[in-house]
Structure 1
């Protein structure tokens, strides 16, 4: 017996002798069916897999193929009989949110069946109204013939409401970087032509010109391709050339020499690769202005909402699939940004990527599986400077790519990037920093010391695991106020349109209002029953009606259930417990904290008072709270322009003391205590009056 390589909590007797790994019943699949294996004649995994996959002794039986058409994009793809609609969507590059990685547990991957033959697994995650409209779950619906499906209007991918685009971003970031020092510098030279009195080689002449500009040519490397093209490049414009030089830790390298001094403006990319969304800033490297910006959903969401599900998906199929998904998202956004700026990808010479440790590994096709196995070690924590051609990013193939370093498996470069922007590690005041997202990373400290941890808040604040949860897109309820008499809610909607769901800030508002207006008990259970006009039972579960069907774009009630409340309570409990334990490890308490910095996607709409009401944030002086927006993209922008900040990133990463909560009994005790509204110990929240 041994532990399954993909599910270490499961004991199994099945072992692959070729790879020497154990596989549980869920994972019984031959890894190399096309390759010779001397163990095959006695391998139970091979025979079970062969039976399940329809293999004969030597090859697969040809499967019947059917067309699947996705409306309204009119994308068409062929898949074998028995493939799920989720698999078809992924193959057709149609975005469908599958929070649970296709396990049928989240109910997010909804499609409308227009025509065709399918086999549907029963599910309680679709309402009677949805079933009447021919809604299906993509992961639980299997192709039996040609099929046409439509993405429901309420879940069509829409542009994220992201703070800071274009001019707005430039104004916000203006002045953060005083001296622009890109990794790849384009140097214009006017060289003296060779003469009989000065007969040095073309390369020596180039190095001499570079030395006059301050370049350290004693450690200058040059590739054979540059040398092959050098003679023509030097003479085409009468010894006027533009030289691209990349500056690394221990050496410099000439990347290219082009004729003339009138090259188009050099551009840079700051990229925030989040678990949920990706943001791209296109930057003029001459003055640091953000000339265009774009944002979109990370296509990896089709493999699960959180990093654990992404890692499991990579273990089953390899990291290449997830890398392609992330690259497709990034490159589409780069194209959008370039189109908005009327620029060309060849102008992009410098790139900085900020993301958590798992996102960085998956993007670079690096094995991430050991991040989720004790002792939770990443393969790489600090990357060397790469070239865009090696990564697949849409830019000049020789463009320099700097990936923000991360201190641990669950605290990554996005947090280091956030600290560069927040800057509290350079200052005296004791600061608590929280990036509110799927992982819930926390940093505590000041200029003298830094401690960090990840509290696994889960995807609820990003809409995962909540019946009508969604990201901060058009149609999301972002603010809620409930009338104390009628218990009717007043809603603020992103885009001022009919509501389609509830985003993280809206859910925090909603739970706070329901608690204070006595709709729910401190344990998260409803005080009201189904007889109240704002209450109903859905799938035998009591729920509060946030918006009636005639008020929504889907003509269906938007409800908030006890299960939804429980998901949010788990998330807020993890964050508060993380604060408490990290402070305790340092011998401190909340009274000693001088400021709390909140960052993250939905934090820009967060009402601090309501977050305190539900016990997510500590009940301290509200003037201590400060919201800094998407600090990850801001820090990436600063590192893009400044060698000083790129060097500082490494120092921050190396100076952090990582505290692992995974086996901490103290964290579990604090987490359990935080699973009430606002807390089991109400004395910790004196300002919250729930009656």
Structure 2
């Protein structure tokens, strides 16, 4: 028997007078033994042709399997000589972007990846608008169809680019936050935003792809990562899986910054998590010049050690059109170490020189002059933008302090690894984040950027049957911490609103 995740080529002992087990039960017995499980389900639609197939294939068969909470399920039975691809699709169901990875289930290889804007934004750019739209059955169906149709379109294109066809996609695994999971599945989501904040469901059992309208194998199966609550979604569970937090001997932490900052702390013996609003100032739309990564967006800023001038880098070296979240953190760090902002995060008139301007009576710093930008307008950071960033970095540090120090009773130096996840985490410079007091001052070699852990966790579920059980175990054992009941949060937050902090001894590496 060849063993490769959910695709198993097995050989059965032919029946005889002294071995008269029925064909379906004969297959079940072999699969149970090899999978080391008590439960294997062979769907009724496969039983009718089973006897003829087993004899035609000389008692060998390639079984494509998947899991749910009760058993392994046989998705399809193939000729062992079938050389066609057996594929799966991992999906990151993001509020703004969706990403698909096409997987070879027999080798575990990623064949290709593609990302696209979530078309549900046509109904509402934010989750709240979409949830309100989904109050009616027609609204839910419209949102579901937008996401599913786009997924079908981009998956078909990805398959074509790899000389494959979607009907050879047998398994799909998707991870998103609680609201996005509900909207993707066409479920009511209003309870998520209405007290007492109860989702329709936290666990969606393995689904038939056809029921969702996915254009894959006719009997394809879909696993959507479970949620823990209204504000702790399957994307974070996928991240825990991708980071192997549940396997670590020493305490580690993972931070995923998006609209919220989602944090998980722990090891193989315990896990705790919390979420808080620390991300909006790092997203497009909050700052006048803020935008998501694309050509011309400023993604890095540094200070020339000799001239103290600011040196910017743009994506694809195009003329500057705006700045992304990681660029904002770099910029704040550069402004601070060069003395252009003070410990309160306020622009310093003398140090800013002729780059300081006023916009509607609000001080602002011209990072790129209008004549040098790609928009014909100055790329400008206002004091309002800086205040938003200061609040965001203070919130992030405070959330970390609450969960690490106050709740777990650890110090930051106890953390063996500090994982930074998400699209934002793919580009952040930890040194800049430490400089402004956003992340703790620990050795830089403890930081590890993981990228899109939501997608990576979904990939893992497709290629490792044990990952399914790990997800369910994590969900049952993790402790969620409510920050809004922490009495000392605001006091800690006030101290963190300085650069890098009111207690500078916490940041010994920051030299100004």
TM-score with structure 2 length normalisation?
0.87
Larger-gyration structure (1/2): 1
Equivalent pair of 1:348/1:395 in contact (CA under 8 Å): yes
> Which of 273, 289, 296 is the matching residue for 1:452?
273
- Work out whether 1:320 is the aligned partner of 2:141: yes
Q: Distance in 1 between matches of 2:40 and 2:252?
A: 43
Structure 2 residue 4 is matched with structure 1 residue 180: yes
With 314-323 and 597-606 compared, the bigger mean Cα shift is at 314-323
2:501 aligns with: 679
Equivalent of residue 594 in structure 1, options 389, 408, 416: 416
Aligned to 1:358: 179
By percentage of residues, which structure has more helix? 2
Q: 2: CA distance between counterparts of 1:615 and 1:259? A: 60
Deviation at 1:310, TM superposition (A): 4.3
SS in 2 for 1:611: helix
Aligned length, in residue pairs:
507
Contact kept, 8 Å, 2:238 with 2:455, in 1: the verdict is yes
Of 263, 267, 285, the match for 2:87: 267
**Separation in structure 1 between the aligned mates of residue 386 and residue 315 of structure 2, nearest angstrom:** 22
**Corresponding residue of 1:82:** none
**Distance in 1 between the 2:368 and 2:463 partners?**
46
> Residue 670 of structure 1 corresponds to which residue in structure 2?
492
**1:567 matched to 2:385:** no
- Please state if 1:625 is matched with 2:443: no
Give SS of 1:495's match: helix
Q: 1:50 matched to which residue of 2? A: none
Partner Cα distance (2:477, 2:77) in 1? 39
Give the secondary structure class of the aligned counterpart of 1:646: helix
- Residue aligning to 2:368: 547
Q: Residue 396 of structure 1 corresponds to which residue in structure 2?
A: 217
Report which structure shows greater RCO (CA 8 Å, sep ≥6).
2
Which structure 2 residues correspond to residues 517-536 of structure 1 after superposition, within 5 A? 517-528=338-349, 532-536=353-357
Segment drifting more, 249-258 vs 573-582: 249-258
* Greater mean deviation of Cα atoms: 278-287 or 227-236: 227-236
Mapped to 1, the partners of 2:234 and 2:413 lie a distance apart of: 29
Alignment match, 1:634: 456
SS in 2 for 1:433: strand
After TM superposition, the structure 1 = structure 2 runs for residues 236-635 of structure 1, keeping only pairs within 5 Å, are: 244-256=64-76, 261-262=81-82, 264-302=84-122, 307-308=127-128, 310-315=130-135, 318-483=139-304, 488-528=309-349, 532-583=353-404, 584-635=406-457
CA distance in 1 between counterparts of 2:234 and 2:312 reads 36
SS of 1:542's partner is strand
- Matched with 1:208 is 26
TM-fit CA distance, 1:264: 1.2
TM-score by length of 1: 0.66
Q: Distance in 2 between matches of 1:479 and 1:266?
A: 41
Q: In 1, distance between residues paired with 2:295 and 2:191?
A: 38
- C-alpha offsets along residues 244-292 of structure 1, whole Å, 9 cap, x if unaligned? 5544443454544567842511001111222332221111111111111
Cα-Cα RMSD: 3.4
How far residue 235 of structure 1 moved from its aligned partner, in angstroms, is 8.8
Aligned residue for 1:416, secondary structure, equals: helix
Q: CA deviation at 1:188?
A: 7.1
* Matching of residue 654 in structure 1 with residue 472 in structure 2: no
Conserved? CA contact 1:306–1:458, under 8 Å: no
Residues 664 and 342 of structure 1: is their aligned pair in 2 closer, same or farther, counting only changes over 3 Å? same
- Change over 3 Å in CA distance of 1:247–1:677 after alignment to 2: closer
Gaps of 5+ in 2: none
Q: What secondary structure does 2:290 align onto?
A: coil
> In 2 relative to 1, CA 375–540 (structure 1 residues): closer, same or farther, beyond 3 Å?
same
**Alpha-carbon distance in structure 1 between the residues aligned to 2:361 and 2:135:** 37
Contact 2:171–2:220 (8 Å) recurs in 1: yes
TM-fit CA distance, 1:632? 2.1
Distance 2:230 2:449 in 1: 26
Counterparts of 1:595 and 1:191 in 2: how far apart (Å)?
Answer: 50
